[in-house]
Amino acid sequence: DTAVSQTPKYLVTQMGNDKSIKCEQNLGHDTMYWYKQDSKKFLKIMFSYNNKELIINETVPNRFSPKSPDKAHLNLHINSLELGDSAVYFCASSSGTANYGYTFGSGTRLTVV
Amino acid sequence: GENVEQHPSTLSVQEGDSAVIKCTYSDSASNYFPWYKQELGKGPQLIIDIRSNVGEKKDQRIAVTLNKTAKHFSLHITETQPEDSAVYFCAASINFNKFYFGSGTKLNVKP
């Protein structure tokens, strides 16, 4: 069973469209994250939710809106997509304070054309 | 906020040789330092970690050292194998909250 699963794996869309990426974890973790990995492989945190509550919100355009319906799911909705949004987006989860690193999903490669 | 620098950006070694990747961090409050391996088309995977109350940790061919005074930590891979080829990331965090990642090291192990 996949611990952290993201869908879709690939997403190609035109500028100006709205798209969503879904993430689910079956590890029982309390905390989930969205990271963006740019073309130079740099990983930067975007958001973090703990038990459905937003706890980290980095300097991310308002066009990005995370939603956590329950602690096992964290979705990312992006409005009015721009060329610069092209990247690989990773979902991750952790047990928060319980002494361990992240478990990452396999990523969603978003290409805006 | 925390700033993590990682070197080198690329590293090429012969199979069987050792590889060392180094990271420095800026925030002395950071107390947890994981290392991740990212293979092509996959998400980063935790391979080893170290906490600030420990100076060294080893797991088979992989070891991590931490120098809190100098604020740097290193990943050591001995007897490298072609399957070790990947991108490696270091990270630092305070109390397992937000992780700050280094810029990654692409390791190429030549057979």
Shortest Cα distance from B50 to chain A (angstroms)? Answer: 10
Q: Would the pLDDT of B96 be above 80?
A: no
Give the torsion through C-alpha atoms of A110, A83, A14, B42, to 10 deg.
Answer: -10
Q: Tell me what percent of the residues of chain B surpass a pLDDT of 70.
A: 100
Best CA proximity match to B49, nearest among A103, A101, A27, A44: A101
pLDDT digit string, tens, across residues B34-71: 999 999 989 999 999 999 888 999 999 999 999 999 99
User: Mean of the per-residue pLDDT values for chain A?
Assistant: 91
Which residues of chain A make contact with B87, given a CB cutoff of 8 A?
Answer: 41
Task: Look at chain A and count its residues.
Answer: 113
Range with top average pLDDT, A90-94, B10-14, B38-42: B10-14
Residue B17, CB half-sphere, CA atoms under 13 Å: how many? 13
Q: What's the confidence (pLDDT) of residue A97?
A: 58
A42: closest chain B residue by CA: B103
